[in-house]
């Protein structure tokens, strides 16, 4: 499940690996992932474009091409991009890509390849996505930013402009639970379920608390922990929970830092009380009933 640190890791890797590369062809067995175009048109338009830079906006990856054209990719839950020289083979469930880079271990979640960008140098960018939720928008910059919802995103969680004052201003007028508000991309961009659970546990705030009832001291802690936890996860190249893989197809090293997510019934790492699970806005929320009072 890629959240901000995982997407940032992918973007950092891509910037090291494929800047100035030219796309020579594209393949997919799931054309529905192209949201605002069709396969024939997309293939025709993307051929010959040079990748100039790659940036992150929330959990979206933006590829800037020559000619003011951009491609916005959202990996959603199980999507991940891998770069390398690959050998592609057909499997029962779809397509599998075997990395020819020495030392790479192939892995269950890398086998659901549904799209491949072929580059002039012989490298490929492969999109593996078991659940097929990933989406691509492609076209002129201003059209794509609107269509893909990037213009509607709230301040990025790691944007220096997300000061305590700004944070309070966007959080405090919401009536919904703090957990739901933290995960709402139109309020703050980049935080998903795993990090939201970690942030609230570290801040000793109950996930179901209505956002507008939070004290200034609690909001201060939540913001400080948000930045601290996300920055640490970026340093460690993302979490290894779930299906996340980096561009070499490897899982991250942040797994040991997942303090409450999916630990229902297991002892709280602070006080030993069993972790509880509740549902908020169709999403699971994990917390310690003793450390995080209502």
Binding segment toward DNA, per CB under 7 A, in 44-52, 70-78, 97-105, 219-227: 70-78
CA dist 148 and 110 (Å) reads: 25
- Contact with DNA (CB under 7 A) among 172, 231, 283, 290: 283
Exactly one of 270, 283, 289, 290 is catalytic; which is it? Answer: 283
The CB-of-137 to DNA minimum distance in angstroms stands at 10
**Among the options 3, 5, 21, 263, which is catalytic?**
3
Q: Which of 6, 56, 57, 59 is the catalytic position? A: 59
Q: By C-beta, is 59 or 221 nearer to DNA?
A: 59
> Binding string to DNA for residues 116 to 155, with x set by CB under 7 A, is what?
--------------xxxx--------------xx--x---
Long-range contacts of 157-165 (CB under 8 A, 24+ apart): 157/4, 157/188, 157/189, 157/190, 157/191, 157/226, 157/227, 157/230, 158/4, 158/8, 158/190, 158/227, 158/230, 158/231, 158/234, 162/188, 162/223, 164/219, 164/220, 164/223
201 versus 261: smaller Cβ distance to DNA: 261
Show the tokens assigned to 39: 């396969």
Binding site for DNA (CB under 7 A): 1, 3, 32, 58-60, 74, 76-78, 93, 108, 112, 130-133, 148-149, 152, 173-176, 183, 185-186, 192-194, 261-262, 277, 279, 281-284
């Amino acid at each position: 499940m890629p959240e901000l640190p995982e997407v940032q890791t992918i973007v950092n890797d891509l910037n090291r690996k494929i800047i100035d590369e030219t796309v020579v062809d594209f393949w997919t067995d799931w054309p529905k992932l192209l949201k605002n175009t069709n396969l024939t048109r997309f293939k025709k338009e993307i051929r010959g474009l040079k990748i100039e830079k790659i940036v992150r906006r929330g959990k979206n990856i933006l590829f800037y091409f020559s000619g003011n054209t951009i491609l916005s990719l959202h990996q959603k839950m199980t999507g991940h991009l891998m770069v390398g020289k690959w050998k592609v083979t057909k499997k029962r469930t779809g397509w599998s890509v075997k990395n020819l880079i020495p030392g790479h271990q192939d892995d269950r979640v890398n086998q659901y390849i549904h799209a491949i960008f072929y580059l002039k140098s012989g490298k490929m960018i492969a999109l593996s996505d078991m659940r097929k939720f990933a989406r691509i928008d492609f076209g002129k910059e201003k059209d794509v930013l609107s269509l893909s919802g990037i213009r509607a995103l709230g301040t990025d969680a790691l944007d220096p402009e997300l000061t305590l004052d700004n944070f309070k201003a966007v959080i405090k007028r919401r009536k919904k639970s703090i957990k739901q508000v933290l995960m709402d991309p139109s309020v703050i961009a980049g935080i998903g379920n795993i990090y939201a659970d970690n942030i609230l546990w570290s801040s000793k705030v109950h996930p179901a608390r209505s956002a507008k009832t939070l004290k200034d001291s609690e909001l201060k802690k939540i913001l400080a922990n948000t930045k601290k936890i996300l920055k640490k996860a970026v340093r460690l190249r993302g979490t290894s929970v779930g299906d996340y893989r980096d561009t070499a197809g490897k899982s991250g090293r942040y797994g040991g830092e997942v303090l409450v997510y999916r630990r229902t019934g297991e002892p709280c790492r602070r006080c030993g009380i069993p972790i509880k699970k509740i549902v908020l806005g169709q999403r699971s929320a994990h917390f310690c009933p003793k450390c995080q009072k209502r």
